Amino acid sequence: GDTFPDQAFLLRYKQDFSVNIDWLITGEGEMFPAGKAQLGSDLIALPFYADVAASAGPGLVVGPEAHESVVAFTRTFLRDQGATPERCSVIRARGDSMAPTIPDASLLIVDHAQAEVANGTIMVINVGEDLLVKRVRRRLDGLVDLISDNPAYPPETIGRETIQQLRIVGRVVYFCRIP
């Protein structure tokens, strides 16, 4: 969880998969250099919802969910994180309530196949109009606590009146900080 891609990792990724390093870092340009567009059998292109962010702080209103681009990962890597590769997508975190674990603007890989509350895991959840990234804990009384890693933000409890509005979007299986 707390390791971030360094220069050596990015260069190795470029070498192993012929990915354009500028695209890998910034998302701009083509994924593969001209003539190198050969998705290996283990690579999967995950939809990247650039305009959708899960708020690590006060809730962020969800906008249109059309993905603008893709981010490629290997299926092996995603499975190693406990994910179902074909059910994953990428969004961005906004805010500081999950810091230091998840810094502002980090990319989040969300596994939509994991849509049940799993105590202590970091999940993207939808409450009403808000999309949040929080640790979740189901309480013995049936309510759900939303926990921020940043101690400046106290836990919030989803009460009986709003529990029916709670929807688990998926579990955050991996995140990477933007350099």
How many CB atoms within 10 Å of residue 55?
20
In whole angstroms, give the CA distance from residue 158 to residue 143. 6
Question: Of how many residues is the chain composed?
Answer: 179
For residue 57, the model assigns a pLDDT of 54
Under 8 Å between Cβ of 102 and 112: no
Neighbour-count burial for 70-80, b at 16+ CB within 10 Å, e otherwise: ebbbbbebbee
Q: At 178, list the tokens.
A: 């933007």
Band (pLDDT 50/70/90 cuts) for residue 63 is very low
pLDDT at 33 over 80: no
Under 8 Å between Cβ of 24 and 178: no
Distance between start and end Cα atoms, the chain: 17
User: What are 78-123's pLDDT values in tens digits?
Assistant: 999 999 999 999 999 999 999 999 999 999 999 999 999 889 999 9
Which residues face 53 on adjacent strands?
92
Q: At 82, list the tokens.
A: 């406990």
| The residue type at 109 | I
Residue 34 to residues 16, 19, 27, 45, Cα–Cα distance (Å): 16, 10, 16, 18
Q: What is the pTM of this model?
A: 0.72
